Structure 1
Amino acid sequence: MAADRFRLTLAQLNPVVGDIAGNAAKARAAWAEAKAAGADMLALTEMFITGYQTQDLILKQVFADAAEAAILSLAADCADGPAIGIGGPARVGKRLHNAWWVLQGGKLVAKVLKHHLPNSDVFDEKRIFSPADVSGPYRIGPVRIGTPICEDAWHPDVAETLAETGAEILLVPNGSPYHRGKPDLRLNLMVARVVETGLPLVYLNMVGGQDDQVFDGSSMVLNPGGTLAVQMPQFDTCLTHVDFTRGPEGWRAEPGLIAEIPRIWEADYRACVMGLQDYMAKTGFRKVLLGLSGGIDSAIVATIAADALGPENVRCVMLPSAYTSEHSLEDAGEVARNLGCRLDTVPIGGAQAAVGEALADLFTGAEPGITEENVQSRLRGLMLMALSNKFGEMLLTTGNKSEMAVGYCTIYGDMNGGYNPIKDMYKTRVFETCRWRNDHHRPWMKGPAGAVIPERVITKPPSAELRPDQKDQDSLPPYEVLDAILDGLVDRELSVAEIVAQGYDHATVKRVEHLLYISEYKRFQSAPGVRLTPRAFWLDRRYPIANRFRDPG
């Protein structure tokens, strides 16, 4: 190890929550590559040994003990070669910490404990971990390294303390999930830490889907002044070696890999694909099915599924009723053909008639209405779940964020399913996402290139087709109005008065607010789905189901 050179291997990998042995094996493989490349140290991400986020699983002592034992075993197995920095739990007395373990020569040489615990958005770390005082820098060969763990780097105090106590490089292991615009936010914050301390900074983030969250990598290395020396790709696993040299002004990273960060439309779509792909892989499913209605939402979900799993692993099912239009049948067929997916047709007319006959005596004298409409949706859900059970194919549900927000969906009907790739995508974004996918194809997409979603699917008026000549706008404001109001109420937590001041009708805003609140029970029982925004329905936004508050504005 030369006195003025330091090679750091950055491992931007995809750990699996709970797979301690598998994650340790990935760490060993990365260490072998680092050793072969003559690295002085291998860096892995936050809580790598357990996967992230563990939620309450980490409170199970046998799990935390197994994770610590695996790290110590890793130290023994990797004694002859580069040092290792790896995230994992650490119990100190009766307190459990989010820690970063530094291993060298078969021993533990440092244990950095997280100081700031995030407790907002999707994070609940104060529930499971104890905060610790700021850990000082540690030495690996010629370099003194300071390690703020994830949230610690979002505040100036930890980095400043490390700089004041002799750190020469800041190395930040992360488990930072994606939301729209996140790479720019991270870059701005890390540049601030570099400017404040005058030190080079390594930001190392994991990749992969975990339930609703997608970790998007985008790891980077910044030199003093904020110059980007290394940019690792977004969403892809990657291992790269970064060389630091020491000159008169201290340590600097030599220029290395510079990957392009995709624009937001591509990043959102990639997050949907990766979220589904990893949810399937990490829960043990290989194939999916979905109801393909001829509408835009099921078309984009089928496309996401084909891109994530390959068309051969996607079964589309058309479930026509008496109200299903001929063009819906045609459009569903064309989407399935364009994607190369299997399409089965299961008419529900007979089942609908049987249910009607069974309930006829009890329904005597009552006017037909939404109950009969929902029976159709629930019959479709029943048929799809039967296929899912019979063939072991996970059912995807296809409701967009606009529908989820106002309850324009049938519980135990079209809400049936194990995962929803567009749960956090408003309807207006669904339209634009279809157009983006028709115009773009990337190597990571397993579906075919070209305009896979027909123009008529994108342009025709949306309809649930549960009664004659039904249109969504019979029951809802136009989607461009609805989504703007929902953006205010949900994503920005604006008051009714603030939204009305933007030019929206007061009665319409109040109606949307009412629908939002009374639909909480449906969202509580809905399938998980990919998080694209900082206000996705689940961990980001936690509202009571029984709730009488209404904005008086």
Structure 2
Amino acid sequence: MKIAIAQLNPIIGDIKNNAQKIIEVAHQASQDNVELLLTPELSLCGYPPKDLLFRHDFITMMAEELKAIALKVPKNISLLIGLATENPQAMEKGEKPLYNSIALIQKGEIKQIFHKQLLPNYDVFEEKRYFAIGKNSNYFEINNIKIGVTICEDLWNDELFWGKKNYKINPIKSIQEKGVELILNLSASPYVLRKQQLRETMLKYLVNRHKIPIIYANQVGGNDDLIFDGNSFAVNKQSQIVVRGKGYQTDLIYLEYSSQTKDILPGNIATIATEEEEIYQALILGVKDYAHKCGFNKAVLGLSGGIDSALVAKIAVDALGKENVLGVLMPSPYSSEYSIIDAQHLAKNLEIKTEKIPIKPMMDNFNTSLQPVFNDNTFGIAQENLQSRIRGTILMALANKYGYLLLSTGNKSEMAVGYCTLYGDMNGGLAVIADIPKTKVFGLCRWLNHEQEIIPNNIIIKPPSAELKPEQKDEDSLPPYPILDEILERYLNFHQSEKDIINSGYDYDTVKKVLKLVVRAEFKRKQAPPVLKITDRAFGTGWKMPIASRW
């Protein structure tokens, strides 16, 4: 039996166009003699639809489009589509009104509906807010082959693999007991660094334990702060990866299931990207889809001559094209000559258009206007931040004037400790690298230069500086970035206490200062643009910390 995975990139809420893409790929697969076509979780509406699920017309449109799809796809192909369906017993049993479902279409009819049994409610997931729990593991048949259907999280509860049970039931074990020969998992699994390796390790374990091959179909694309990497794959009964689709792009992946051996035959196996490649490809996809799905064709950003704006500029060029990126140089009296030269050198390497707008006249006007209120000529943090806010205002003006997407350039280290100016360099529609620690920013730029100099070497080797006052260096206010990032990783990612971090060998005063800065900066993070997520602990949808706290 020939099977295909349609690794789709839906637009959330664009139900009719998502349906049309499904119909088109079904016709393409049918021409290639595919008998069974898989699409990802909630492929009809896109994942995650969030509170659109509260709209009755949204649910009705999905049901109507599902019927239309059934009539428009070829009759010789069986099709699995992800969508939200109504729970008819919601009122009677006090349950949520919807299910996260998979519909099976065969011969022009909706034959079966399968419901997700494990609903994640952690990190970026809030499925219990919307969905009722599916009660039954189930299967369908093609050519007398029993095929089990699971949805994303349904795979993620093997107590032996994890060392604990996260849910009361294990759908894989239940579906095995029904005598299925093949298990499908239709997912919308967001990207984080090295998650593909975890998925493949887990599925190999499950196949080895249950002796049933598994096909894993995943969504691809950027949806707000979340990035979906695709990388759909299949594991045979020997726990080997025999098929893998492309990462970070749509794909139609073909594979063969043998009814004689009851196993998946070897097919094409796309390679897994290196750590730097996968981060970079994910960020490109995140910027490209955020821009296009929100109606932007062009982007603007400030070019300071620093490493953060250099990396964001390169990502923007690869996502949107060099002709669609504008870099703005906004030197102040404290900007070094080298920073201006470095920014111009970068722009030349990237072949992007630039504008140069010196901010000294605006600084002078602000200082003159504020002097009577400030009642002194002391230069301090207020004057430093005014420079950043002037630059942010200029960039927003250009974005508004020409309909550009403003990309903010702050990294995760800065976002964590508040070393970025609210209404200044935090201005923007998308925070591209705000989940990338400063040390990783350096690493990515060195990696980009492995064949030729793209990021000017002087940008990489010079000490980081905001250049808001004479001879300023980041280390005047912060620990060295390697130390800062290690402390932040322990605190943010591994949830270590202040005491634990100090006992690990870090300086007492340094740890106290860093953690205090993290807590104090929470109000800034609540007002930041969406942050592209590439780690388990990103400042975005899954970050839920109080502002007014003393912890």
Q: CA deviation at 1:541?
A: 2.1
CA contact under 8 A between 1:323 and 1:466: conserved in structure 2? yes
Matched residues in 2 for 1:54 and 1:308: separation? 24
**Partner of 1:29 in structure 2?**
24
Counterpart-to-counterpart distance in 2, 1:509 and 1:438? 34
Structure 2 residue 126 is matched with structure 1 residue 124: yes
Aligned residue runs from structure 1 range 145-544, under 5 A: 145-156=147-158, 157-247=170-260, 250-365=261-376, 367-439=378-450, 450-544=452-546
8 Å Cα contact 1:287/1:313 also seen in 2: yes
Question: Equivalents in 2 of 1:166, 1:19: separation in Å?
Answer: 38
1:70 partnered with 2:72: no
> Are the equivalent residues in 2 in contact too, given 1:9–1:42 (CA < 8 A)?
yes
Work out whether residues 179 and 531 of structure 1, in 8 Å CA contact, stay in contact via their aligned partners in 2. yes
Distance 1:228 1:513 in 2: 43
Q: Does 1:19 align with 2:14?
A: yes
TM-score, reference length from structure 1: 0.95
Q: Deviations over 1:424-466 (max 9, x none)?
A: 00000000100111125xxxxxxxxx31111110010111111
Q: CA deviation at 1:135?
A: 2.9
What is the Cα deviation at residue 314 of structure 1? Answer: 0.4
Letter in 1 for 2:409: T
Give the CA deviation at 1:60.
1.1
Displacement after TM superposition at 1:79 (Å): 5.1
Per-residue deviation, residues 89-133 of structure 1 (Å, max 9, x unmatched): 010213201000001111111100000001111111111111111
SS at match of 1:241: strand
- Aligned counterparts of 2:525 and 2:114: Cα–Cα separation in 1: 39
Q: Is the 8 A contact 1:79 1:107 kept in 2?
A: no
Bigger mean CA deviation after superposition, 130-139 or 327-336: 130-139
Give the count of matched residue pairs.
Answer: 533
Map of 1:54 onto structure 2 = 49
Give yes or no for contact 1:160–1:196 (8 Å, CA) kept in 2: no
- Describe the superposition over 1:270-297 as per-residue Cα deviations: whole angstroms up to 9, x where unpaired: 1111100000010010000000000000
**Deviation of residue 160 (structure 1)?**
1.3
Residue type of the alignment partner of 1:256: G
More displaced 10-residue stretch of structure 1: 57-66 or 132-141: 132-141
State the match for 2:115 in structure 1.
Answer: 113
CA contact (8 A) 1:207 1:235 kept: yes
C-alpha contact (below 8 Å) 2:533/2:540 kept by paired residues: no
Runs (4+) off by over 6 Å = none
Q: Residue 522 of structure 1: SS of its match in structure 2?
A: helix
The aligned residue for residue 98 of structure 2 is 96
Q: Following the alignment from structure 2 to structure 1, what is the Cα–Cα distance between the partners of residues 266 and 148?
A: 21
What letter matches 1:370 in structure 2? I
> How far apart are the structure 1 equivalents of 2:517 and 2:333?
29
8 Å contact kept, 1:205–1:217: yes
Confirm or deny: 8 A CA contact 1:377 1:413 kept in the other structure.
Answer: yes
Which of 142, 145, 148 lines up with 1:143 in the alignment? Answer: 145
> Matches of 1:35 and 1:531 in 2, distance apart?
36
C-alpha distance in 1, partners of 2:53/2:38? 22
Partner in structure 1 of residue 549 of structure 2? 547
Structure 1: give runs of 5+ residues left out of the alignment. 1-5, 441-449
- Residue aligned with 1:137, SS: strand
- Deviations 1:347-406, CA, capped at 9 Å, x for gaps: 111111111111111111363200011111100011111111111111110000000000
Is the CA contact (8 Å cut-off) linking 2:145 and 2:259 kept in structure 1? no
| 1:416 counterpart SS class | coil
Secondary structure of 1:144 counterpart: strand
The 10-residue stretch of structure 1 (210-219 or 127-136) with the greater mean CA deviation from structure 2 = 127-136
TM-score by length of 2: 0.95
AA in 1 matched with 2:190: P
The SS at the match of 2:410 is coil
User: RMSD of the alignment, in Å?
Assistant: 1.1
Name structure 2 gaps, 5 residues minimum. 91-96, 159-169
Q: Tell me if the contact between 2:6 and 2:37 (Cα under 8 Å) persists in the aligned partners.
A: yes
